[in-house]
Amino acid sequence: MNFQKITERIYYLPATEETDRPILGYIKGTKHSLMLDAGNSPAHVALYNAAREEMGFQTPDYVAITHWHWDHTYGMCAVEGKVIAHELTNQQLKIMASWKWTEEAMAERLQTGEEIEFCDNCIRLEYKDPGQIRVKTADITFNGAITIDLGDIHCELIHIGGPHSKDSVAVYIPEEKVLFIGDAEGPDYYHNDGKYDKNKLQKFMEDLQEIDFEIYMMGHGTPDTKENTIKYLEEEISKLS
């Protein structure tokens, strides 16, 4: 699988559905580069690195995490760059780092609702032996927002929250007017049965309108325009009571 180009300095490895692998971004500065999300496993990171080397791009110095969900974070044990996550994301990573991966412990988490069936299934497809899972915490944490200077290009990590997960972070690259949103736009499958909370979706849309971007990149999607995104969200909001 190859990197897809968004702009001259921004690329991504496409998402795949079988084991719910999200897109993994690459933002290329003149001094440093940044990986967007850590993927769902060391195998996913290896695929990313092969595609990156094919382009002749350097190893990312930083890895920005969009939210705590396994598919975006369980590759953290295999990345080389410093991992940057929101304080809330890191709190959940700390909890997951203590999880046991025995059949018994996995079944119990499904019982308590700590884990959901969709993810449990995908984890079992991604890992022949879930006992090999190693969850790590971040190297750098922040609250609110943090800006990383990659050299002539900046990544602004903005805590946007939204309907999907309260820790969601958007990564905005002002020089290219690109916004990586992770899964922030989606509904919450852990606490709201995969249904939208109207107020959260409305607030999320208003927050998006404030950001001066042209290309919108979802965690499991392909590039879209701001116009399409706002139009879609307005329609979704109008369907909710």
Residues binding Zn ion (CB under 5 A): 69, 183
Rg from Cα positions in the chain: 17
CB nearer Zn ion, residue 126 or residue 183:
183
DSSP per residue, 180-221: EEETTTS-BTTTSTTB--HHHHHHHHHHHHHS--SEEEETTS
CB nearer Zn ion, residue 176 or residue 185:
185
CB nearer Zn ion, residue 17 or residue 104:
17
Are 98 and 171 in contact by the 8 Å Cβ rule? The answer is no
| Sheet strands (E) in the chain | 4-7, 10-13, 24-28, 33-36, 62-64, 82-86, 140-142, 145-149, 154-159, 169-173, 178-182, 215-218, 224-225
Least distance in angstroms from the C-beta of 30 to Zn ion: 32
Least distance in angstroms from the C-beta of 138 to Zn ion: 17
Least distance in angstroms from the C-beta of 59 to Zn ion: 26
CB nearer Zn ion, residue 57 or residue 189:
189
Least distance in angstroms from the C-beta of 165 to Zn ion: 6
